[in-house]
Amino acid sequence: MTTLFDSYQLGGLSLPNRLVMAPMARVRATADGLATPSMAAYYGQRTTAGLLITEGVQPSLVGQSTPNTPGLYNDEQTASWRQVTDAVHVNGGRIFAQLMHAGRIAHPDTTGLQPVAPSAVAAGHVFTPTGFQPAPVPRALGTAEAAEEARSYAKAARRAIDAGFDGVELHGAAGYLISQFLSSNANLRTDRYGGSLTNRIRFAVEAVAATVDAIGAERTGIRLSPGGGFLGTDETDVVDLYSELLAELARLDVAYIHLLLSADDEVLLGLRRAWPGALIMNPTPPLKGPQAGRGPEVGREEADLWLKHGADLISFGRAFIANPDLVERLRSGLPLAPVDETTLYEGGDAGYITYPTYRHTAGAAQ
């Protein structure tokens, strides 16, 4: 029987186990989107995971969601990531950059630009330098502009490889730009990017295809949240929509798809059967709204269940924050440390690179 601790061949990468650190926003980059030494330490501490996936990285300034998130759209940002990838590789790890275009989940107070989206339909609220504010009405992308935004993922992917990443994951989930194009209420277009299922998936397919052309299929994955309803998005015809999308992704032979637990098991198991490639499953029931993605902590039981359901790899989010040695804790049945909620996005090193491994606290009450 497959276990979390079996090795796995993912494209050109040999993973020592099947645990993946899921992408999680930690907002510790500089104001101009540079990766920092603390970020290098954070990822370097967690390299026993089979694969690390970074927090969402904007492929362009207009794609930035919140303040102090990192970018990959200029030379300085690209160079700043080298310290992160070096820290991971020197410790024997493997790391993908998650490319996340915010679309309408952005604000001029953060970027100085009006957000862009499939249609001029506002979301609810977005986080800005002064806290949560009502989301502005985005500017609807023209047809040619939509194609250019799809190519922005590929441009950032080339920079990611230059920065030493092993590959990239396109963020097609949770209400951000790719998800907005898949949506039936955020996407009201009547051109080639809207209306029919084929048109609604077109932006996602073009973004992935451009990335595959830029860096290779074995270095390209995508995260999806079928039927998730995140950040004010809604999707109709979920099974047909994602079945058609997965068929197109299969033709591109991407390294993996990464699913959130965003639909009923029946839907997700059907997509597993329809998908011929590697599947990363995140077994955490996600919350929605302003705290999208911050679901309850899960452990070995939920992971083992989804391995039995046919997932190849299991991603953990919050558990990796407080447990840099999560692989060993799960392997040895050791207790998991709780997350300090007050430091998730606070901005300093406390609650970021200060969580100890179990051996450092074994003599305490833990």
CA distances from 292 to 81, 109, 152 (A): 26, 21, 24
Q: Is 55 helix (H, G, I), strand (E, B) or coil?
A: strand
Q: Is 209 exposed, middle or buried (0-12, 13-18, 19+ CB in 10 A)?
A: buried
Which residue blocks in the chain are alpha helix, DSSP H?
A: 37-44, 75-90, 108-111, 143-162, 177-182, 197-200, 202-215, 238-252, 265-274, 300-308, 318-322, 326-332, 358-361
Give the angle 10-15-16 at the CA atoms, nearest 5°: 155
19 within 8 A of 325, measured Cβ to Cβ: no
* The residue to which tokens 């396109």 are assigned: 170
Q: Would you name the residues annotated as active-site residues?
A: 176
* The residue to which tokens 């990335």 are assigned: 211
7 within 8 A of 16, measured Cβ to Cβ: yes
> In angstroms, rounded to a whole number, what is the distance separating the alpha carbons of residues 214 and 254?
13
